[in-house]
Amino acid sequence: MAWIPVAVGAVGALSHFFGGKSRTTVQYVTNPALEDALKTANNANAHLQKQFADIQQVLKEQQLDSFEKLKAYDHRAANALVELASQTRAMVLEGRTVALFGVTSSGKSTIINKLLNSKVAAVGVGDTTKAIQPFNGNGYCLYDIPGRNDDLSYFTSEYISFWKGLTHRLVTIQSTLREMTKVFSLLDAMDLRYDIVVNKFDLIEDANEAEAFRQQIRNEVHECGLKGVNKIFFVSAKKTDQFPDWIKLVQYLRA
């Protein structure tokens, strides 16, 4: 494959992962305050937009829909993407900010409702989150992140800027870390720290099986080569009083 020279490609590489032009991500923002922060970040990162667009065009042409596929197809292109991400300025978000990433089956909406002690996120109706939804929590702002069909859609300057500006990034799973390996790989590529919330832990009733499952998750951290894991919480958003990790999670987000 003929690739853009590194001098240009390292900075001249990235915009189609996320939909192409900088204004695309605005479709995923409906909150006025967040939209203002996005516009400010876009201005700060305007000098990178051409480079983002160049590499996204390559990805579109080669039908590459994940960061792992990009690395397998062209390692230098993947490195260029990471380099450009490192140059992207973080979005300035007010106060403590927490974002939740996860597939519908992980119970992400139930976690949000329990953290906020209010039914603000739709539960049990499929993936209804189409825009980044901010909710005011106790001492922090909680963002519900929409699921995407491919992880490279996240890799716009807007999303990168947003991710870098967060205080905490929570990735929710139910059965295995492999449910969210695409998100983990992107966060690791950007050298960002994140926490894992293992939900629906109440479904494992046997104490020995529960401990074996805890160990399985810890083993998967090493098996998947995850670099940015900070804390792992084993919880049940429906039965929070049964698991001490829930209180630890709440205190952690407020600290």
Q: pLDDT 10s digit of each residue in the chain, 255 long?
A: 333 332 233 333 333 323 334 333 334 566 788 889 989 999 999 999 888 888 778 778 888 877 888 888 888 888 888 999 999 999 999 999 999 988 777 888 899 999 998 887 766 555 555 678 889 888 899 998 876 655 666 777 888 899 999 999 999 999 999 989 888 988 998 999 999 999 999 999 999 999 999 999 999 999 999 999 999 999 999 999 999 999 999 999 998
Q: What is the DSSP letter of 127?
A: -
- Burial, 227: exposed, middle or buried (Cβ in 10 Å; 0-12, 13-18, 19+)? middle
Backbone angles phi, psi at 30, to 5 degrees: -120, -15
Specify the 3-state DSSP secondary structure of 113: helix
Q: Closest Cα partner for 151 from 103, 105, 195, 91? A: 103
Q: What is the residue extent of each domain of the chain?
A: 6-87, 97-254
Q: Which residues contact 115 (CB under 8 A, 6 or more apart)?
A: 137, 142, 250, 253
Q: Which residues contact 109 (CB under 8 A, 6 or more apart)?
A: 121, 122, 123, 144
- The tokens for 156 are 């716009």
pLDDT number for residue 145? 84
CA–CA gap between residue 187 and residue 121 (Å, rounded)? 25
CA–CA gap between residue 177 and residue 194 (Å, rounded)? 13
The model's pTM is 0.82
Class of domain 97-254: alpha beta
